[in-house]
Structure 1
C-alpha cells in the first residue's frame, strides 16, 4: 500500500483510502469540492466542532506534486483529532476543522508514476504545467516583479503562472471553497525550507500580528523551531495561496515549509531523485515536530480578530 521506491509514503490510492479512514475515525465527512485537470476529485475533510463553534479553520497541503511530507502532516492532524485530550481535539472546541491533504492530485500521481525522478518542472505543476501556487490573482493594485521564484509567464517554466489568474480548476475550486466557508485561519503545508511564510502585508497591525502568530507556532515546536520569513517592504506578491486568502477572504494565512533545507542536505548531499530532496526518509520526527506548531498557529489565530477587524481597531 506504500509507494514502492517512495516508501514509507503513500501511493495515490492509499492516500485516498487514508483520507476516508481518518475522516471516519475523527467523526468527519469527505467533501468533494471540485475536480482536477485530469478529472480526479478534489476532496476536503470536514470535522465539526465538538462544541458547536461557528468559526472554521483550514489546513491544506501538497499544492506542489512532490511535496508529500505536507500531506502526511495534514493526515496526522486528522488522525490526532480523533484522540480525546489531544491538542487537535482541543482545537475542535473552538472551530470546525477542514483539511485538504492534497491540493494537486494530478501532480501527486505524476510524481508517483515517475517514482519521484525528473526535473522539478515535470513534478511540481498541475497537468497543464501551471504552478498552482503562482496562479492566484494579485491583490488590487499589485504587480508582479521580475524576481527569482516570483512567477513566470513562459509556459514550460517551473513557476509558470498560467494563462490567467484562477485559470486552473484546482485553484478555482479552492477559491470557491474559501469563499463559501469563510475560514478564519489557514495553514498551507509545503516543503523543504523549514520556515513560516505568512501572507505578505504592508500594514503594520497585520504585519506585527503575523509575527505573534508565527511565534506561537515556533514556541510549540518541540525540537526544531522554524523562523518567520517576511518583510513589509522587500517582499512581493507572486500569486500565492496565502496572499489570496488574506487579502480576498480575510483569513489569517501562512505557508509552512516542513523539513528544513539543512536537514534535507544532511539526508542527501546529492539525492537519488527530486522527490528525496523534498521529503525526509522518516516523516515521523517532522510530523511530531510540526503538528503541534500547526495546531498552535490555528489556535492563536482563532483568538484574534479578523485581519480587517484588526486594521479597523488600529485606525480607530
Structure 2
C-alpha cells in the first residue's frame, strides 16, 4: 500500500461533495432542505425532509465526525428511494421521512482535513472537543456513569460530555427539532460494532417492543444480522441521543452501529489507521445490508402507538 493510498479516504466524499449530493437527492425526490441550526464552526446543520401526511420519522447519522459510513448509509435510504425500492416507496407513502446525513459537520471536515490520521478524540468530537452523543440530558436526572465509554468530565477525552447537557449548538439544535417535529421513530447511525442499541427503558412493555423492533431490523438484513445490545437492569444513561428522544419526546429510538466488529478488525489489520477501523473500504456492501433493516424497523415502529407514558417517567439513576 502506497503512502498516497494510505492518506486517501476514497471512496468517501469530501464535505462539499456530500452537501451537493444531498441537494441533488432533494431535487430528485421533490424534498425540502431544512437548515435546523448552525454548528460550532458555523456550518449549516441540514436535513432533507420528504413531506407526507403521515407521522414524522428520522434517520440521522455522523454524530461522531470520523464515522463516515454512517452518513453513507443514511444517504443510501434516499438513493434507494430514487432507485424505486418498493419498501422505501411504501415507507414514504406512510410517513414524513427526515434524513440528516451529518449531525457533526465540523468533525467530518476535521477528519477529512487530517486524512483520517491522528487522535480519535480530535475526529470524533465537535469543534469544542465535545462528544455530542454524551451531551444530551440524562433522563430523570440520572447521575453520570463511571463505566468505561459512558462519558468523561475531562476535556480532551474521546467521550468528553461537555460542560453541561445541550451545551453544544449541534445538540441544542437537534433538541429544538425534536420538540418541533415529535418524531414517531428514529434511527441514529454509528459505526463499527454491528449492533442495535435501543433507548434504555425499564418498563416491561416498552422493553419487549424494542426487542421486537430489533428482531425485525435484523431479520431484514440480507448478509450480516446485528445483535441487540440492551438490559433492563444493567444499562445506564450516558447522555445519548436515543435515550433523550425516547424519554423526553416519546420517540421509538435506536442507535444502529453499522459495519461489524469482526469486519472492522479484519480490515484494520490490512489498513492500520483510526479511520479504517471505523469505516469499511467498500461502503456499498454495508449500505445494501443495512438499508433494508432500517426500512423494516420504521415500518414496524409505525404499527406501534408512541411509547407509553410509563416508560417516559423519570427513571432511577443507572449503575
SS of match in other structure, 2:294: helix
Deviation at 1:309?
A: 5.7
Aligned to 1:183: 183
SS of match in other structure, 1:299: helix
Structure 2: state its 5+ residue gaps: 1-6, 313-319
SS of match in other structure, 1:6: coil
Paired residues for 1:106-125 under 5 Å = 106-125=106-125
Aligned to 2:37: 34
Aligned to 1:69: 69
Residues 184-220 of structure 1: per-residue CA shift (max 9 Å, x gap): 0000000000000000111111001000000010010
The CA distance in 2 between the partners of 1:160 and 1:214, in whole Å, is 29
Verify: 1:18 aligned to 2:24, yes or no: no
SS of match in other structure, 1:93: helix
Deviation at 1:143?
A: 1.4
Deviation at 1:270?
A: 6.1
Deviation at 1:84?
A: 3.5
The CA distance in 2 between the partners of 1:167 and 1:309, in whole Å, is 27
Verify: 1:265 aligned to 2:265, yes or no: yes
Aligned to 1:307: 307
Distance 1:270 1:82, change over 3 A: closer
Distance 1:43 1:266, change over 3 A: same
SS of match in other structure, 1:140: helix
Contact 2:203 2:310 in 1 (8 A): no
Structure 1 runs, 4 residues or longer, greater than 4 Å off: 309-312
**How many equivalent pairs are there?**
307
The CA distance in 2 between the partners of 1:246 and 1:136, in whole Å, is 12
The CA distance in 2 between the partners of 1:141 and 1:103, in whole Å, is 25
The CA distance in 2 between the partners of 1:231 and 1:172, in whole Å, is 28
The CA distance in 2 between the partners of 1:80 and 1:86, in whole Å, is 9
Aligned to 1:47: 50
Deviation at 1:29?
A: 1.1
Verify: 1:79 aligned to 2:105, yes or no: no
Deviating more after overlay: 56-65 vs 143-152: 143-152
Deviation at 1:27?
A: 1.4
Contact 1:205 1:310 in 2 (8 A): no
TM-score (norm 1): 0.94
The CA distance in 1 between the partners of 2:231 and 2:11, in whole Å, is 37
SS of match in other structure, 2:130: coil
Contact 1:34 1:43 in 2 (8 A): yes
Structure 1: state its 5+ residue gaps: none
The CA distance in 2 between the partners of 1:83 and 1:223, in whole Å, is 21
The CA distance in 2 between the partners of 1:296 and 1:183, in whole Å, is 17
